[in-house]
Amino acid sequence: MRPPRGYRSEIDIKLSPDPAGPYAGAMPTIYEVASLAGVSPATVSRVINGLPVSGAYAERVRAAATKLNFTPNPTARRLRRRSSQVLALIIPTIENPFFTSLARGVEDVAQGAGYSLVLCDSDERHDKESTYLDVALAEHMAGVVLVPATNHPRLARLLERRTPVVSVDRSIRGTEVDSVLLDNREVARSATERLYARGFRRVGCITGPRETETAQQRADGWREVFSRHHPRTDPERYLRHADFRVAGGRDAMASLLTTRRRPDAVVVTNNSMTVGALETLQRERISPAEMGLACLGDLPYSVLQRAGVEVLPLPARSLGAAAARLLLDRIGGAEGPAQRIVLPIGGGPAIPDR
Amino acid sequence: MRPPRGYRSEIDIKLSPDPAGPYAGAMPTIYEVASLAGVSPATVSRVINGLPVSGAYAERVRAAATKLNFTPNPTARRLRRRSSQVLALIIPTIENPFFTSLARGVEDVAQGAGYSLVLCDSDERHDKESTYLDVALAEHMAGVVLVPATNHPRLARLLERRTPVVSVDRSIRGTEVDSVLLDNREVARSATERLYARGFRRVGCITGPRETETAQQRADGWREVFSRHHPRTDPERYLRHADFRVAGGRDAMASLLTTRRRPDAVVVTNNSMTVGALETLQRERISPAEMGLACLGDLPYSVLQRAGVEVLPLPARSLGAAAARLLLDRIGGAEGPAQRIVLPIGGGPAIPDR
DNA sequence: ATGAAAGCGCTAACAT
DNA sequence: ATGTTAGCGCTTTCAT
């Protein structure tokens, strides 16, 4: 029998939670609740956790807990249970609205299920991502939603410990984890076709890094349509790889403008690069009629109708929500091979993205 | 003497970290490191924490720790120390780039000092904010950076436990906490003056909710300049209160357009409402020459030079960084009355905001 | 159904 | 300088 801080025997009458006591600010523990209710700490624990306890006891414990303003200490709980009610979400950058939307989707689902969410910004860097995965491991997080910064994230230790991981937006080579993806090829195809339908004659493409899956797939979609329209032209002449950032889009557009027989429209495969591309067009005073533009993904803080930019919204929020649901299923013990969900793009998500 | 999992007496020869053992995925503990190094757990703890240990021992412990891939369990540590290396940042919405920029500022400083950051989205709601504050308390966070959703956040319990709190961007009525603010009045004044300088004759204003401090201060700045130009006009006729969101800006601009002797320019006091205002102008086909616009804060995903919008950047990132520094000072034990830092707006922050 | 007690992994007296 | 040990607050056998 140990004498924990604040423990009171049944004889002790002074039961008030002396608010200005020597340990002002200390949270009450189950021991204090137990002695106030006249039961054992174990019984308090059972009540908190919804295990079978006789009605009378349960009531007394609840009353005591309320009176003392008791909240179970999550740290102690986590140490003992070796698990927590916390999910990690690792995104490549918090400053791209696509990922903040995705985060909202994850958060909606997580919160609805009683989990809290820790948001981590990997800054598109393998080392930071790795660090956060270690944190998730060390902190005994219940699961991880990951937008991988590379296609070989260090998941080994996490998976060894059977912590569920779901990858979103980008897939992971080799490792068997659930993933929620977009039909990138289809969305790029559709964007390209719209520009041709609007009457443009030669549609170029600005996509992301060569080694990035989404960048490749989107380029593939564009290439397919382009080659149909220009069977004799090498599509690579009209394709630029940038880095998915504003500056990259700016430079890539500048480069396309100097191409011999330059394109009269461009598909830009993400929101940030579109902003850059527009900046270049503006600087060169090239009107929307001279150079058409399609953007994959929303530009939430832009007002672009006037500029005639063809925007193809991507269901970022749904992506996050679907990933979170998949993760919660696994946490709940769902077995079976890794799932691979591809979200429809045109179909309109149940949860609107803005 | 207890026999912890994985504990090995000095006699035990089998010292390899059997990777596929019965507890696959279990993290090594200081006990395992201790026995591998042939020292006591306390010594391991001392080495980890940089307390004085003889060179030879320290070396052996480090070798053992490396070999076992040991990481101290943060949960156990937190339980024991009653404190953690984690900061909370509570923002009203992750979907406004102003706050994500601010978050980057906090993160930069936090990470530099070895703290991790938990980002929470209060959704501008008092109840969610309150919940996150409770989480911060229960999780023994080292400190909280708060963009208050209301001017009376529930800080009592946190402060009772002497957890440092810094408010950013908005101040807190009554409570004595450090705060980092902008000179909202000045920035609004400056925006208004620019529009008059550009030749507009009657500059209206769209600001945030009546009860919000920043909304009031910005409106005050506008009112001051407006009244100087129109001493006989009631400024309230040219002021609209909205909710700092896109839809609010849209409606407020629509309302201003129907005003008798309507304004020929408008100061909009945040980025989101500016987007809404622009949408209305576009729909009504009102050109930038007919209706001037100034926006308080960056519009990172917009390309607005063409639209002639006067953008006044706000040092969001610096705001976050300054708040984090203040917080770390307090965590480090800095005493003294609550500080109130007002960041210069025009002066150009040391850390650029994009 | 309830209680006693061990122990999650670590740190901090205290003893040596 | 190093080791022993109690205990942070909780959950969970194991008895009763």
Spacing of A129 CA from D14 C1' in Å: 44
State the pLDDT at residue A304. Answer: 57
The total of structural domains in chain A comes to 3
Number of Cβ within a 10 Å radius of residue A221: 26
> Which residue in A22, A23, A19, A48 sits closest to A33, CA to CA?
A48
Token pair for B105: 């500022």
- List, in sequence order, every residue forming a beta bridge with A294; answer none if it has no partner: A267, A310
Q: What is the dihedral of CA A106, A109, A111, A115, to 10 degrees?
A: -80
State the pLDDT at residue A22. Answer: 35
- Point out the nucleotide closest to A80 (alpha carbon to C1′): C8
State the pLDDT at residue B303. Answer: 63
- Mean pLDDT confidence for B276-305: 85
Q: Using CA atoms, how far apart are residues B329 and B335, in angstroms rounded to an integer?
A: 9
Residue-number span of the structural domain to which B284 is assigned: 184-312
The secondary structure of residue A307, as a DSSP letter, is G
Q: Which strands sit side by side in the sheet containing B165-168, from one edge to the other?
A: B116-121, B86-91, B143-146, B165-168, B178-182, B340-343
Q: Indicate if the pLDDT at residue B345 is higher than 90.
A: no
B354 min Cα distance to partner chain A (Å): 10
Q: Which residue has the tokens 């490749």?
A: A216
- Mean pLDDT confidence for B138-156: 93
The secondary structure of residue B201, as a DSSP letter, is S
> Which residue in B109, B243, B112, B89 sits closest to B168, CA to CA?
B89
How does pLDDT run across B66-79, given as a tens digit for each residue?
A: 999 999 999 999 99
- Same-domain status, B149 and B243: no
- Point out the nucleotide closest to B51 (alpha carbon to C1′): D1
Q: Which residue is nearest to nucleotide C8 (CA to C1')?
A: A80
Q: Taking CB atoms and an 8 Å limit, are B95 and A78 in contact across chains?
A: no
Token pair for A243: 């880095």
Q: Using CA atoms, how far apart are residues B29 and B72, in angstroms rounded to an integer?
A: 7
- Same-domain status, B303 and B189: yes
Picking from A79, A102, A127, the residue at the C-terminal end of a domain is: A79
**Per-residue flag: B39 CB under 7 A of strand D:** yes
- Same-domain status, A100 and A204: no
State the pLDDT at residue A204. Answer: 98
State the pLDDT at residue A6. Answer: 36
- Residue in chain A lying closest to B282 (CA): A306
For A278, residues 6+ apart whose C-beta sits below 8 A from its C-beta are: A293, A304, A307, A309, B303
- Same-domain status, B169 and B262: no
- Mean pLDDT confidence for B319-342: 95
Number of Cβ within a 10 Å radius of residue B271: 25
Q: Label each residue of B297-315 as H, E or C.
A: CCCCCCCCHHHCCEEECCC
> Which residue in A26, A23, A31 sits closest to A1, CA to CA?
A31
- Same-domain status, B140 and B217: no
Question: H or E element: which one contains A181?
Answer: strand A178-182
State the pLDDT at residue A352. Answer: 38
More confident residue, B25 or A117: A117
From chain B, pick out residues whose CB is under 8 angstroms from the CB of A71.
Answer: 134, 138
Q: Which of residues 70-109 of A touch strand D (CB under 7 A)?
A: 70-73, 76-77, 79-81
State the pLDDT at residue B21. Answer: 34
- Same-domain status, A64 and A160: no
State the pLDDT at residue A13. Answer: 26
Q: How far, CA to CA in Å, does A307 sit from each of A162, A295, A348, B292, B304?
A: 50, 12, 24, 19, 11
Q: Indicate if the pLDDT at residue A353 is higher than 50.
A: no
Q: Taking CB atoms and an 8 Å limit, are B95 and A101 in contact across chains?
A: yes
Q: Taking CB atoms and an 8 Å limit, are A302 and B302 in contact across chains?
A: yes
Q: Taking CB atoms and an 8 Å limit, are B79 and A76 in contact across chains?
A: yes
The secondary structure of residue A348, as a DSSP letter, is -
Q: Taking CB atoms and an 8 Å limit, are A95 and B75 in contact across chains?
A: no
Closest partner residue to A160 among B25, B157, B278, by Cβ?
A: B25
How does pLDDT run across A84-103, given as a tens digit for each residue?
A: 999 999 999 999 999 999 99
Report the residue of B18, B69, B75 to disrupt the A interface, i.e. the one with the largest count of A CBs within 10 Å: B75
State the pLDDT at residue A149. Answer: 93
Q: Using CA atoms, how far apart are residues A124 and A149, in angstroms rounded to an integer?
A: 5
- Mean pLDDT confidence for A224-247: 96
The model's pTM: 0.87
Picking from B58, B79, B100, the residue at the C-terminal end of a domain is: B79
One-letter amino acid identity for B136?
A
Tell me the percentage of chain B whose pLDDT exceeds 70.
89
Q: Using CA atoms, how far apart are residues B297 and B225, in angstroms rounded to an integer?
A: 19
**Per-residue flag: A39 CB under 7 A of strand D:** no
- List, in sequence order, every residue forming a beta bridge with B89; answer none if it has no partner: B119, B145
Backbone angles phi, psi at A205, to 5 degrees: -150, 135
Q: Indicate if the pLDDT at residue B302 is higher than 80.
A: no
CATH number for the domain spanning A279: value is 3.40.50.2300
CB B269 within 8 A of CB B234: no
> Which residue in A289, A284, A322 sits closest to A306, CA to CA?
A289
Q: Taking CB atoms and an 8 Å limit, are B138 and A24 in contact across chains?
A: no
Spacing of A46 CA from C4 C1' in Å: 15
State the pLDDT at residue A99. Answer: 96
State the pLDDT at residue B23. Answer: 39
- List, in sequence order, every residue forming a beta bridge with A146; answer none if it has no partner: A90, A167
- Mean pLDDT confidence for A292-313: 81
- Same-domain status, B103 and B165: yes
B123 min Cα distance to partner chain A (Å): 10
State the pLDDT at residue B304. Answer: 57
**Per-residue flag: A69 CB under 7 A of strand D:** no
Q: Taking CB atoms and an 8 Å limit, are B137 and A104 in contact across chains?
A: no
- Same-domain status, B300 and B190: yes
CB B54 within 8 A of CB A118: no
Q: Which residue has the tokens 């969001």?
A: B316
Token pair for A280: 């270049």
- Same-domain status, B197 and B299: yes
State the pLDDT at residue A151. Answer: 84
Instruction: Name the least confident of A21-25, A99-103, B99-103, B261-265.
Output: A21-25
- Same-domain status, A67 and A116: no
Return the number of CB contacts < 8 Å for A and B: 115
CATH number for the domain spanning A62: value is 1.10.260.40
- Same-domain status, B223 and B306: yes
- Mean pLDDT confidence for A174-203: 95
Q: Using CA atoms, how far apart are residues A185 and A216, in angstroms rounded to an integer?
A: 9
How does pLDDT run across A166-175, given as a tens digit for each residue?
A: 999 999 988 7
State the pLDDT at residue B106. Answer: 97
- Provide the CB-side half-sphere exposure for B41 (13 A, CA): 14
Picking from B30, B45, B79, the residue at the C-terminal end of a domain is: B79
Q: How confident is residue A288, by pLDDT bands cut at 50, 70 and 90?
A: confident
Where helices occur in chain A by DSSP H, the ranges are 30-37, 41-48, 55-68, 74-81, 97-112, 126-138, 156-160, 184-197, 213-229, 246-257, 271-283, 316-331
Averaged confidence pLDDT in chain B: 87
- Provide the CB-side half-sphere exposure for A45 (13 A, CA): 10
Q: Indicate if the pLDDT at residue A249 is higher than 80.
A: yes
Q: Using CA atoms, how far apart are residues B58 and B44, in angstroms rounded to an integer?
A: 8
Q: Using CA atoms, how far apart are residues B140 and B82, in angstroms rounded to an integer?
A: 6
For A78-81, the CB contacts below 8 A with 24+ separation are A78/A139, A78/A140, A78/B75, A79/B73, A79/B75, A79/B76, A79/B79
- Same-domain status, A193 and A280: yes
